[in-house]
Amino acid sequence: MSVKRLSICCALPLLIGLSACQTVGPDYVAPKFDLVGAYTPPVPVIAANQADHGRWWESTSDPVLRDLIALGLANNLDLRIAASRIEEARAVARGVSGANGIEVGANVNGDAERGTSSRERGDQTTDLGFGAGIDFSWTADVWGGQQREDEVALADYLEQVYLREDVYLTVIADIVRNYIELRGTQKRQELLRSSLDLQRQTSNIVQVRMQTGLASELDLSRARAEVSDIEATLPTLQTDIDRSINAIAILLGAQPGTYRDRLVDVQPLPEFDSAPPIGIPADLLRRRPDVRAAELSLISATSEIGVQTADLYPELTLDGSLALGATGYGSGPIVRTAMAAIGAVIDATLYDGGARQADIDVAEQQAQQAFYSYQQTLLVAIQDVESAIYGYVGAVQQRDSLISSVRYHRQAFEQSRVRYVQGLSNFLDVLDSQRTLTQSQQDLADAETDLELETINLYSAVGLSVEDVERYADKAGIDMNNG
């Protein structure tokens, strides 16, 4: 490395001339994606009220779910980790800004000397001295490398803000999904218990008929076997209920089972009075936090190219100092001194074997990878919405068909039991119709749960509104105008 020291007279004109140079590295330009104007499947109308801000979870009439969401947003550990990462990125940005500024130091010193005369009187003299000084160092951002470092730090910081919003949306959706699964399983369990009571009644009828010689022991065995089959299914449903309760507790940052008392009572599936606007694929560029975070990652990677490019050029550093001192206290005369110095250093690497160019090549490839990741994230977001639309439409059709199926199976069961009691049909008809009724009721309960889940999938797929992100930014004291 070759270092040349210039006088201040030469350095200042050179600094002024070099400062007029342009910032090295590419400026970020938002990529243009050829997006279709609408989603492939027709967008369904889910709720009569379209919430402009998209906070659909606030429109639920279920007080338990509202409380769970509030607790989750306050205590979820993933959210706390995401918030901590924001503060970490904020601190990194401050550090980068500070490191690129002027560095000022100070020092204070003192000394004391005592002398004794060699004459017979042995006179002693004391000489005290004091000094203080300050020094500074500043590296000029001649090629814009420091500006690019600030851009990288800011983009990384804002990326964490949007990633936090992505976690925010995910936590809400996960709480709602687990709550829906819990209520759906509880409904299935309740229906199965009703079917069990009905099957036991049928078994009692068969037993009475067998005592009067109107039914066989085979019919009774079949009836009792059907009761046992239903009883065997209940523990499995209870296990699913317990797991859902524990999963909700974890999402709320609590130990498993903490909220069991609030969740064990059977409640209907939650309903939401509003739905977020589905919009068009281009809206996801602003509504999906993960898409915006991916773009900020691309911005950061683009600015990093400038950081590495600036290392190709010489670095200009200004150093200065001011020192004040006084000596002679005690022995006189007092001598006061003042010294000032300023200098400039140009630091240039003449040969590095291509290491710096390799760093630029690495940065360029990382920017290319960030672009592909951004594009992939956007495509996945579009896929999420379209898949959720297909899922919702299919779930609606399935539920409507199963409503009719349950009605017909109930009629068939009632007719078969009446005919059996009248001796017009055999017991296998009763068993078959009751078994299919039980299964169709379970299928309908599953379909209603799946429809709720597909609805939440669609709501979460369209993302948050920009206002939600800005609301959090204002609350956290984050300036989003620089992003």
pLDDT in tens, 359-372: 999 999 999 999 99
Amino acid 314 reads P
Instruction: Round to whole Å and give the CA distance between 86 and 161.
Output: 6
Please, are residues 424 and 400 in contact by the beta-carbon 8 Å criterion?
Answer: no
Domain that holds residue 78: 2-23+39-111+126-477
User: Does 117 map to a domain?
Assistant: no
- Which CATH number goes with the domain that contains 403? 1.20.1600.10
User: Is this model's pTM higher than 0.85 or not?
Assistant: no
Of residues 472 and 290, more confidence is placed in: 290
Token digits for 247? 């999963």
| pLDDT tens digits for range 187-233 | 999 988 988 888 888 888 878 878 877 777 888 888 888 889 888 98
**pLDDT, mean over the chain:** 84
User: Does 171 map to a domain?
Assistant: yes
Instruction: Round to whole Å and give the CA distance between 460 and 171.
Output: 10
Total domains present in the chain:
1
Residue 80 has pLDDT above 70, yes or no: yes
pLDDT of 394 reads: 94
Lowest mean pLDDT among 188-202, 296-310, 332-346, 354-368: 332-346
* DSSP letters spanning 359-402: HHHHHHHHHHHHHHHHHHHHHHHHHHHHHHHHHHHHHHHHHHHH
Range list of β-strands (E), 212-307: 274-275
Tokens 């990326």, residue located: 159
pLDDT of 332 reads: 63
The number of angstroms, rounded, from the C-alpha of 477 to the middle of its chain's C-alpha atoms is: 19
Please, are residues 188 and 446 in contact by the beta-carbon 8 Å criterion?
Answer: yes
What confidence category does residue 472 fall into, taking pLDDT thresholds of 50, 70 and 90?
low
| pLDDT tens digits for range 31-59 | 998 888 888 888 887 755 555 556 889 88
pLDDT of 115 reads: 58
User: Does 18 map to a domain?
Assistant: yes
User: Does 85 map to a domain?
Assistant: yes
User: Does 131 map to a domain?
Assistant: yes
Residue 120 has pLDDT above 70, yes or no: no
| pLDDT tens digits for range 239-267 | 999 999 999 999 999 999 899 999 999 99
User: Does 372 map to a domain?
Assistant: yes
Of residues 322 and 1, more confidence is placed in: 322
User: Does 56 map to a domain?
Assistant: yes
Residue 18 has pLDDT above 70, yes or no: no
pLDDT of 260 reads: 94
User: Does 134 map to a domain?
Assistant: yes
Residue 15 has pLDDT above 50, yes or no: no
Per-residue pLDDT, averaged over 338-361, amounts to 89
Please, are residues 156 and 148 in contact by the beta-carbon 8 Å criterion?
Answer: no
Burial of 436 per CB tally in 10 Å (0-12, 13-18, 19+): middle
pLDDT of 124 reads: 60
Contacts of 86 (CB under 8 A, 6+ apart): 157, 160, 161, 164, 476, 478
**What percentage of the chain's residues is helix, strand, coil (to nearest 5)?**
65, 15, 25
Residue 426 has pLDDT above 90, yes or no: no
Amino acid 396 reads V
| pLDDT tens digits for range 148-179 | 999 999 999 999 999 999 999 999 999 999 99
Per-residue pLDDT, averaged over 425-433, amounts to 81
Give the percent of the chain with pLDDT over 70.
Answer: 85
Beta bridge partners of 327: 129, 335
